[in-house]
Amino acid sequence: MSATRTVADDGGSGLVSLRRNLWWGLAGTVASVLGFAVGDWVLDPDVDAGVRAVTGLSTAATIVACGALLGQRIRDEAPSAIWLATAGCAAAVAAAVPLAVGNFGIWSIAPAATISVLVLFLPARRAWLVLGAALVVLPAVGLVTALAMGEPRVAHATWMPALMVVAFGPAMLGMLHGWQVAARLDDARRLAGELAVADERLRFAADLHDIQGHHLQVIALKSELAARLAQADPARAAEQMREVQQLAGDALRETRALVQGYRRTTLSAEIANASKVLAAAGVTVRADVDAGLAASLPQAPRSLLGLVVREATTNVLRHSSATRAAIVLVPDDAGARLVIDNDGARRAGPGDGPGGAGVRAGDGPAVAGIRAGDGPAGAGARAADRPAGTGPRAVGSGDGTGLASLAERLDAVGGRLSWVSDDDRFVVTATVAG
């Protein structure tokens, strides 16, 4: 809990007002009880003037010191040594003087109030132990003094101190506990707001990755192809650049829609787009999709499956040497199962260059393994011209953060996402509830 809360960081919770009211409640209780109980005796003309003056001043000092200590406690500050000494000495004098002249009714009020204030700075268990000790010591002092002075009302000298400890201690500890709970709840409320903002930022970052990563990868693919075809086939190069222009416009529109909060991923559109893009990269695609099942899925799972298709397609373009791919959406026991399979997870061969990069001498810069003169839309892309893994991977051990992020989002809606690479196959499987 912060030691210095201000009106500016109150956040509309009313915590500053609560702290102020709590201080007035605690300090006001001490001042009222001491003022009314001791004040009437201090103003009694039958009491010696010197006794009244000393008792009145010490009581007033007790009230002021307790008020200062309560303020420090509520602000979570360490107790001031000056105020501790003032409270202790003033309470001792305010108790000793009336007790010395035989007033067994008011002597215990000042020490009981001061002890109840001081225990607020202790851990809860120790505070209750100190109050328990005071509940024994103060009545014992009253009893011994009454017996020594021959006071006939011994019972009054005993139960009055116990009553003051019981009246002050639990009440103050209870009010302080209420303040601490309110402060913790306010901290939790602010933390929940910060977590909500962080979650929204992560969601936005994931969506932005899905949009920009996919489109930019395809733009890079087609731009590379256009650059290779610029001299050999200018007409095809121009066609590729027109598609790049269209893709850039699509990316811009989807980014604007995302910023405005209106973007929705359509599963059917994503599958159709993935088939088109993979075919343009020279990958033979088989799409086996239950259209009725796709349309019947709830919006959230359907949207996430669309993002899985997009991310898997981007990964095929960026990381694999696939020549064949399959996109299958079928009913599942839980709802629907989407499987995206490709044959691009080949091992690096001896002739693939350092680190198995898959780029051969003379190829020049390569994106997705497309070479000049490869056929329409890069149909001649070769498996050996793409980066390859070094061996089978475990389920869910993909590189990067795209699939991992989608796995978390699917898990949040009761779905599951896994991926496995074995020999030359890479399979992404997503299941959602219907």
* pLDDT in the model for residue 293: 86
Question: Is this prediction's pTM over 0.75?
Answer: no
Among candidates 313, 321, 213, which has minimal Cα distance to 273?
Answer: 313
Q: Is residue 88 part of a domain?
A: yes
* pLDDT in the model for residue 3: 39
How many domains does one find in the chain? 2
311/169 same-domain check: no
Could you list the mean pLDDT of each consecutive 10-residue stretch along the chain, which spans 434 residues?
42 71 87 85 84 90 93 90 93 90 86 92 91 92 86 81 89 85 80 68 74 79 86 86 85 73 67 82 86 83 87 81 89 88 61 33 32 33 33 38 80 89 87 84
Domain boundary among 143, 169, 192: 192
CA dist 429 and 274 (Å) reads 16
Q: Is residue 378 part of a domain?
A: yes
Q: Is residue 250 part of a domain?
A: no
397/269 same-domain check: yes
Q: Facing residues of 11 across strands? A: none
270/378 same-domain check: yes
Domain boundary among 129, 161, 192: 192
* pLDDT in the model for residue 129: 93
Q: Is residue 258 part of a domain?
A: no
Residue-number span of the structural domain to which 35 is assigned: 15-192
186/77 same-domain check: yes
Q: Is residue 47 part of a domain?
A: yes
Domain boundary among 159, 192, 225: 192
Query: Domain containing 399 — which CATH number?
Result: 3.30.565.10
Q: Is residue 377 part of a domain?
A: yes
Q: Is residue 84 part of a domain?
A: yes
* pLDDT in the model for residue 6: 41
Name the token pair of 237: 């190069």
Task: Give the length of the chain.
Answer: 434
CA dist 305 and 415 (Å) reads 10
Q: Is residue 20 part of a domain?
A: yes
179/320 same-domain check: no
CA dist 140 and 136 (Å) reads 6
* pLDDT in the model for residue 136: 93
At 166, which helix (H) or strand (E)? Answer: helix 154-208
